[in-house]
């Protein structure tokens, strides 16, 4: 029998090591993460409802923002509730099926957002560089196709990576040095060589991180060239405000992802993985509705209209 197979066991559950064992620190983290999680759910749900209810927001940009809100709600809900439960000391184990589900959903949602952000930058490129042809180019059929492609690519490649990882033999004790079943942390527990998995992860990163990022940068270079030709100050301000917020999200999202999965020693630093995963699970989903939508004039007006309707309905009853 090969040496690496001697400790192979049938795994039924994993132990999530999570954060510090200090009770006071865990309680503080629980409070902080609970607030961020509530803000994530509230902000993204509010954006989703406003876009659905206000016909002024029925445009391609807000259509894609609606999908981004769905991704962020699902992304946070996939990891955070179990993490909060662990911080309270109510069990740090997760079943093999539960762990597999976390990995699968994590990959699908992360890859979908990679494509979605590139699609959104293309939408801004067409809107600013080709405003007269915007309605023709970004028609309903094109928007539905781009959204469907984003989800389909995320599902296909996320499922492929998750399937390969979960079919590996694992050795006990199955302690995952993370606060959820993150794929790199789980791969460290495999009893066999994981080179194929790591090569696949790197290849997917090239396709879903570097290639979309290059498209985004090209789009915004064209946008910048167009902005420089705008003579009116209000036009400058509106365009820079919109594109600046988009670039902030793009820089944070892709920068962290590249650093985490493609940087040197990306599979060896558990502390770094935890911090960067917190960004994806909590910080980014909390910031997205604030940066993309809630600071936007049209969204603010839609929110005010919703409040007026609520007051009118309340006065009638």
* CB distance 110 to 279 below 8 Å: no
Mean pLDDT of 234-253: 73
The two three-digit tokens of residue 45, written as one number: 């749900």
Residue 236 or residue 4, greater confidence: 236
Of 8-12, 81-85, 108-112, the least confident: 8-12
Burial class (CB in 10 A: 0-12, 13-18, 19+), 23: exposed
Residue 254 burial (CB count, 10 A)? 20
Q: How far apart are CA 199 and CA 10, in angstroms?
A: 26
C-alpha 310: how far from its chain's center?
A: 32
Mean pLDDT of 20-42: 89
What's 47-90 look like in SS3?
A: HHHHHHHCHHHCCHHHHHHHHHHHHHHHHHHHHHHHHHHHHCCC
Q: How far apart are CA 87 and CA 33, in angstroms?
A: 10
* CB distance 47 to 53 below 8 Å: no
Q: Is 190 helix (H, G, I), strand (E, B) or coil?
A: strand
Per-residue confidence (pLDDT) for residue 290, from 0 to 100: 81
Q: How confident is the model at residue 253 (pLDDT cuts 50, 70, 90)?
A: confident
Residue 288 or residue 133, greater confidence: 133
The two three-digit tokens of residue 253, written as one number: 């999202």
Q: How confident is the model at residue 294 (pLDDT cuts 50, 70, 90)?
A: low
Per-residue confidence (pLDDT) for residue 147, from 0 to 100: 96
C-alpha 132: how far from its chain's center?
A: 32
Residue 94 β-bridge partners: 14
User: What does the radius of gyration of the chain's CA atoms come to, in whole angstroms?
Assistant: 22
Q: Is 170 helix (H, G, I), strand (E, B) or coil?
A: strand
Residue 220 or residue 266, greater confidence: 220
Per-residue confidence (pLDDT) for residue 288, from 0 to 100: 84
Per-residue confidence (pLDDT) for residue 233, from 0 to 100: 60
Per-residue confidence (pLDDT) for residue 6, from 0 to 100: 47
Residue 196 burial (CB count, 10 A)? 11
The two three-digit tokens of residue 231, written as one number: 């003579």
pLDDT digits (tens, 9 = 90+) for 195-240: 899 999 999 999 999 999 999 999 988 988 888 777 666 666 666 7
Q: What is the pTM of this model?
A: 0.88
Indicate the helix (H) or strand (E) that contains 176.
Answer: strand 175-176
Percent of the chain predicted with pLDDT > 70: 87
Of 7-16, 151-160, 230-239, 243-252, the least confident: 230-239
Alpha helices, DSSP H, located in the chain:
23-53, 60-87, 96-129, 134-137, 140-166, 183-187, 195-205, 211-227, 233-261, 270-278, 284-288, 297-316
Per-residue confidence (pLDDT) for residue 86, from 0 to 100: 87
Mean pLDDT of 292-314: 71
pLDDT digits (tens, 9 = 90+) for 33-75: 999 999 999 999 988 988 888 888 888 989 999 999 999 999 9
- Is the pLDDT at 273 greater than 80? The verdict is no
- Is the pLDDT at 3 greater than 50? The verdict is no
């Amino acid at each position: 029998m090969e040496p690496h197979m001697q400790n192979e066991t049938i795994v039924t559950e994993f132990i999530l090591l999570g954060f510090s064992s200090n009770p006071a620190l865990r309680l503080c983290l629980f409070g902080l993460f609970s607030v961020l999680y509530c803000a994530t759910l509230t902000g993204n749900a509010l954006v989703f409802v406003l876009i659905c209810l206000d016909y002024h927001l029925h445009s391609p940009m807000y259509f894609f923002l609606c999908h981004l809100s769905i991704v962020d709600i699902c992304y946070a809900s996939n990891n955070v509730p179990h993490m909060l439960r662990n911080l309270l000391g109510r069990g740090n184990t997760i079943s093999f099926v539960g762990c597999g589900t976390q990995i699968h959903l994590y990959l699908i949602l992360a890859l979908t957002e990679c494509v979605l952000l590139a699609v959104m930058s293309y939408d801004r490129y067409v809107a600013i560089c080709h405003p007269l042809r915007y309605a023709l180019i970004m028609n309903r059929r094109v928007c539905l196709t781009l959204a469907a492609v984003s989800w389909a690519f995320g599902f296909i490649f996320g499922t492929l990576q998750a399937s390969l990882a979960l079919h590996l033999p694992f050795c006990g004790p199955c302690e995952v040095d993370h606060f959820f079943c993150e794929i790199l942390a789980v791969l460290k527990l495999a009893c066999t060589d994981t080179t194929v998995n790591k090569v696949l992860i790197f290849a997917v990163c090239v396709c879903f991180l570097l290639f979309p990022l290059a498209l985004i940068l090209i789009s915004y270079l064209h946008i910048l060239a167009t902005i420089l030709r705008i003579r009116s100050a209000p036009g400058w301000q509106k365009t820079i405000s919109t594109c600046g917020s988009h670039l902030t999200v793009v820089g944070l999202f892709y920068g962290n992802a590249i650093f985490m999965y493609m940087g040197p020693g990306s599979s060896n630093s558990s502390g770094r993985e935890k911090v960067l995963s917190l960004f994806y699970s909590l910080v980014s989903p909390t910031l997205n509705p604030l940066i993309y939508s809630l600071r936007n004039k049209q969204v603010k007006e839609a929110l005010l209209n919703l409040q007026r309707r609520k007051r009118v309905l309340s006065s009638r009853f």
